[in-house]
Structure 1
């Protein structure tokens, strides 16, 4: 019998089988302490491992063990070193068990490794899965992490710190969507959709950083100065902006201390289809969830994306934005007639901006509601034929996501202006730009009221349950599309919970209802070829 007592804290030895039951050609499966274990006799040595292959759970006693002690699972040809559990071909490692042979019996130590060791192993294996963009393995490792008692936030902290400098263009939807996926996970009770949400959160980051090189940020520090940060962003000086952020954190400042300067920078231009402000909201929420360990990587990645962002107000289509900002009254003025959504729906950029400036004397939130309702009507009236065309110009590459951004930007704007009300003028005018830019792609034969009746949400509780089911089990290959489903639905749900006029609420819920019925065209091979040929013909 083993020297240690069976109840020893050092080991948990359990009698498995009699030695004479084992044959080199006949492994045995046993169940001990709730564990399914395979026993092999190899060149006179007894070896034990999990009987369930760590890939898909097929029984390893049905596998093949060669002379070099390599165990092959015959279902998918994964191969393991049976002595160590190391994976030779495949992914996940195989758990092996210490064995003793005494008194003609085989004894196994079925004790689980310490929690800290199991957590660390799951995290390391998760990193390997992400490096290969193996989403099934990501889910398994997250499940193992949870089984060890840890939350996916632990993995996300490590992931953000490891990947932020591999985002060549700075922050992407992946970090923003990770926050939204985990927020959805918080609202779910069943472990299966909760794991799906956690997997989606990490998988999108893996997708965006797959095989990307590191583009290091400067480690230099400069004393924090909000005006100098704004100047660094305006001059697109990443090193200077990063040094100021590094300096702020070194001084003991945190996101909340420098948030006003960050939000002002995000709205200094009509930046990159509104991404800069949208991402800033998610950065704040990620820091609140994950802690100060992610402040530096998130802020650096966000600032890089802002520096490299397209400043669309400098484009001919949107140059009137500067004039509208200049025309915005500096002080209070008497409120004029409050425009409703009809004042914005279907209007050009010029007319949408003029209507917004004319409404400047009204409560900003009232103008905001009208613009958001108009944006929702636009999504309801989007002529999908534009998204499906194969002969359009690059300038007319329009799709569903172009229409969702008005709602997600608007939501981020409301959240930010509750914290910094003085940002309403530039925010409302930029929201008007979304309305104007999308007006040319509406279905002329579809009236807003007709679309509202078609896509109306009658039972909000049932709708949200259906929306969650569709989002979690989206079945879409490219992660940017389910991320926009999630973020648009989340934005509208938060808006409805915060408070909306009934007509705006009705329109925004209906817009999301239509969006969730879309089957995205994820690639445009013919359109890309058509545009490439046209471009090359004209380039000489």
Structure 2
């Protein structure tokens, strides 16, 4: 114990409430019918002074109420009766004419368990402030703040009804932003991960994963996913974890499966890469909590190559490297018009005479140009068909998919044809949402390095109301920065495109558009 003298006994007896200060902390001393109590003076909710709170009870109870938001703390048991966090208390005693309190340093191991339990409660309650407080407590005790992220991923794993979400997709980039920065910036980034996971598990219902383990067999695993048989795929997945397969092997397996189709608007590939990035960053404890929802997401994913616009994907992939009567010369302007079907045919035709060293930069340049020249008026329009809805986030997927594809192909070069062909799908589908005449002069970036640094800082105070938007801001910026490192000549264009996207006023809800579209849809029933 580390008892320190903090006040005169008669002074506390006269005042009943007394605030003392020790090493930067305000500590509230209370003399009640139930005995002496000491606690931090600031309510754990929003920091209001508990000195101004109300006391109730008798010789057997003592409840302290924060009058600002009616949080109530039982000082005898230490329980929070109303509210969402614990109140820090200290042992207190009277010695002759003095009051002493014990300020023994926290037992980090014991406090860690309490903090992690608090994180789970904060996630369940969707209490972003408490989530941030609990991370801050880990940091103050010099414990690993990434334990908060690990706990959140485990908690959320079977609460994501359809599997992996943008919360997981953005998490590795938030972790990058949390690295080697001041504590405040680190807390911002980690808090964003927890709050987004909590938001995505919005109904708090658990959706259990099928139990059991089967011997790992890559072909059977791929077949189970193709058949959308989640239970079989999960059992085989656990067999792979039991071996255990390395994260690089998982990347090869998952990215190959993800590219078997033009799937889920690119999410299948993006989430494969991001999930394995998280395992590398956080360790094997999160492998099953990440792989299980990813397998579920694969089994639920849309197979967009079955749609008319993209139906030629498999045939074009089978003909990769074969020439036809189309234009053999590579021209960026040809990618800026047409459709997904024509873009795939064009790129496949180029593959007969050009390698990825030529085709890949052309696709990236087109993707960046499209984001820079996005038709913002179209995104705000009220009068358009339901099937033609699009927004800024749709255009960003070309770059985030390209970033994931580049990482996947680094390990598995044989995937380059599928990656480039699917990138052509994105480029083709985006032509309808581009305004080539858009004046973009004031978005041009002359110093990409400075832009990336300043934009990263801006993300840490993005102020966006919806996590789906902040996740895309983060993922797209970090993807573009990485792509620029691989294609330095495109860095100014990529930075300019991101400059426009980051500054764009994004309409978060389309109330009138939705009303009109639903009236039209219902009229056809």
Q: TM-score range by the shorter chain?
A: over 0.9
Identify the residue that residue 234 of structure 2 maps to in structure 1.
242
What is the CA–CA distance in structure 1 between the aligned matches of 2:331 and 2:475, rounded to whole Å?
26
How large is the RMSD of aligned CA atoms in angstroms? Answer: 1.9
Identify the residue that residue 18 of structure 1 maps to in structure 2.
8
1:349 maps to which of 336, 340, 349: 340
| Aligned-partner SS, 2:522 | helix
Question: Would the alpha carbon gap of residues 506 and 16 (structure 1) be closer, same or farther in structure 2, given more than 3 Å must change?
Answer: closer
Is residue 2:165 matched to residue 1:175?
no
1:359 maps to which of 334, 337, 350: 350
Identify the residue that residue 248 of structure 2 maps to in structure 1.
256
Aligned residues: 519
Is residue 2:27 matched to residue 1:41?
no
Identify the residue that residue 376 of structure 2 maps to in structure 1.
384
| Alignment deviations for residues 488-521 of structure 1 (CA, whole Å, 9 cap, x no partner) | 1000111122x2152x322211110100111211
2:492 maps to which of 489, 506, 523: 506
| 1:104-503 matched pairs, under 5 angstroms | 104-187=97-180, 189-329=181-321, 339-360=330-351, 361-446=353-438, 451=440, 453-497=441-485, 499-500=486-487, 502=489
| Alignment deviations for residues 107-156 of structure 1 (CA, whole Å, 9 cap, x no partner) | 21111320112222222212211211111221111111110112331111
Output the TM-score relative to the length of structure 1: 0.92
Is the CA contact 1:83–1:96 (under 8 Å) kept in the aligned structure 2? Answer: no
Is the CA contact 1:54–1:94 (under 8 Å) kept in the aligned structure 2? Answer: yes
1:523 maps to which of 505, 509, 515: 509
| Aligned-partner SS, 2:116 | helix
- Measured after TM superposition, the shift of residue 195 of structure 1 is 1.0
Question: Would the alpha carbon gap of residues 340 and 119 (structure 1) be closer, same or farther in structure 2, given more than 3 Å must change?
Answer: farther
Q: Which runs of 5+ in 1 are unaligned?
A: 1-10
What is the CA–CA distance in structure 2 between the aligned matches of 1:35 and 1:258, rounded to whole Å?
49
Question: Would the alpha carbon gap of residues 81 and 106 (structure 1) be closer, same or farther in structure 2, given more than 3 Å must change?
Answer: same
1:82 maps to which of 66, 75, 96: 75
Output the TM-score relative to the length of structure 2: 0.95
What is the CA–CA distance in structure 2 between the aligned matches of 1:44 and 1:401, rounded to whole Å?
59
What is the CA–CA distance in structure 1 between the aligned matches of 2:171 and 2:513, rounded to whole Å?
31
| Aligned-partner SS, 1:473 | coil
| Aligned-partner SS, 2:178 | helix
Is the CA contact 1:64–1:72 (under 8 Å) kept in the aligned structure 2? Answer: yes
Is the CA contact 1:24–1:40 (under 8 Å) kept in the aligned structure 2? Answer: no
**Structure 1 stretch 258-267 or stretch 19-28: which is displaced more?**
19-28
- Measured after TM superposition, the shift of residue 34 of structure 1 is 4.3
- Measured after TM superposition, the shift of residue 24 of structure 1 is 6.8
**Structure 1 stretch 437-446 or stretch 298-307: which is displaced more?**
437-446
What is the CA–CA distance in structure 2 between the aligned matches of 1:414 and 1:110, rounded to whole Å?
54
- Measured after TM superposition, the shift of residue 57 of structure 1 is 2.2
| Aligned-partner SS, 1:29 | strand
- Measured after TM superposition, the shift of residue 456 of structure 1 is 1.2
